[in-house]
Amino acid sequence: MYNFPISYEPPVYRPPSEGRSLLIQVTIGCSNNKCTYCDMYRSKTYRERRIEEVEEDIRKCAASGLYPDKIFFCDGDALGASFELLEKSLLAVQKYFPDCRRVGVYATAENILGKSDDELKRLRELGLGIAYLGLETGDEKILHMIVKGNTANEMIEASLKLKRAQIKLSTIAMLGVGGQDLSAQHIEGTAKVLSATCPEFFSFLTTFSVPGTPYHKMEERGLIKPLTSKMLLTEMREILSRSSFTLNPVIFRANHVSNQHPLGGVLPRDLKSIIETLDNWIAHTPEGQFPPRPQQM
Ligand code: SF4
């Protein structure tokens, strides 16, 4: 059996599209760690790792013969690390993996706004190619309710700042995050932010409340009513149809658990066929049916 050359501080998460990337922990935990629906890093206290530790991990991976095409800097919002740590970590990647094509990172709007334009450009020059931003929703009230830590305007400002630095923006929104009562404003606000920012990549996640989280408690108390499968599909349809993507093509993916098939395409080019598919699914989805919960929740 192959012995992986480095050990991680668990739990470790990465975006689905970084499934083949080498994971390097630059930070531990999440600097926000307050979003009411999220329990990913509750067991960790946020900290930056020392550059010596990060460089040692990269060196060991290189010494063991790994040659990753892509690297992902963990944990929850590694762009929140100091500019100096990120710069040195990227220099270490260049030194040990000169053929690495791209480094990715999770980011919050706060992380992005906390870096200057020049710092972001420098990180881009050193190989930081993509940042994954959990927008979740473009609606102020829901952002406040889930304690996301940033306003919709800050999400827009941060997204455009990242794009100015030519770091690709991958935005994630959460279907159903406002519950039934706030669904209409979730649609409106999210379409507005997407239209203003036109991320290079966009994907939906479906909201499932995780036991033990404040979000789950709100659901138990009836303050948030989860959406049925039909409502979730309708939310997706409405967000997409009300967004206008004019700045650049958007690579769209949705692995909605109640979809019969994964949905994806390039927007706006494929919008018409995606909407037709969604209309067909909506028409054939019974009222009152909820999507199955993922296994590992
Ligand atoms: S910023 Fe991301 S990782 Fe951190 S608490 Fe919120 S959802 Fe979880």
- Taking residues 141-164, report their average pLDDT: 98
Query: What is the arithmetic mean of pLDDT over 247-273?
Result: 87
The model's pLDDT over 78-97, given as tens digits with 9 standing for 90+, comes to 999 999 999 999 999 999 99
pLDDT in tens, 36-90: 999 999 999 999 999 999 999 999 999 999 999 999 999 999 999 999 999 999 9
pLDDT of 283:
96
Ligand 1 atom with the smallest distance to the CA of 34 is 5
Question: Which three-class secondary structure string do you get for 199-233?
Answer: CCEEEEEECCCCCCCHHHHHHHCCCCCCCCHHHHH
Q: Answer whether 49's CB lies under 8 Å from 82's CB.
A: no
Among candidate residues 78, 77, 81, 74, the one with its CA nearest the CA of residue 8: 74
Joined tokens for residue 10: 């668990």
Is the pLDDT confidence value at 258 over 80? no
Q: Tell me what the pLDDT averaged over the chain comes to.
A: 95
Q: Which residues of 55-80 are buried (b: 16+ CB within 10 A; e: fewer)?
A: bebbeebbeeebebebbbbbbbbbbb
Residues 48 and 82 sit within 8 Å (Cβ to Cβ): yes
CA distance 63 to 58: 9
| pLDDT above 80 (res 217) | yes
Residue 98 has pLDDT above 50, yes or no: yes
Tokens of residue 168, six digits: 């690709």
The pTM for the full model equals 0.96
* Distance (Å) from CA 39 to ligand 1 centroid: 8
- Residues whose beta carbon lies within 6 Å of some atom of ligand 1: 30, 32-35, 38, 40-41, 76-77, 108, 134
Give the homologous superfamily in CATH for domain 17-284. Aldolase class I (3.20.20.70)
Q: Which atom of ligand 1 is nearest to the CA of 13?
A: 3
223 has pLDDT over 70:
yes
Confidence of residue 179 (pLDDT cuts 50, 70, 90): very high
Whether the predicted pLDDT of 175 surpasses 90: yes
* CA 32–ligand 1 middle distance (angstroms): 6
Residue 244 predicted with pLDDT over 90 = yes
Structure tokens given for 121: 């450009």
Residue 174's nearest CA partner among 34, 16, 38 is: 38
Name the closest-CA residue to atom 8, ligand 1. 38
pLDDT of residue 297: 44
Q: Whose CA is nearest to atom 6 of ligand 1?
A: 35
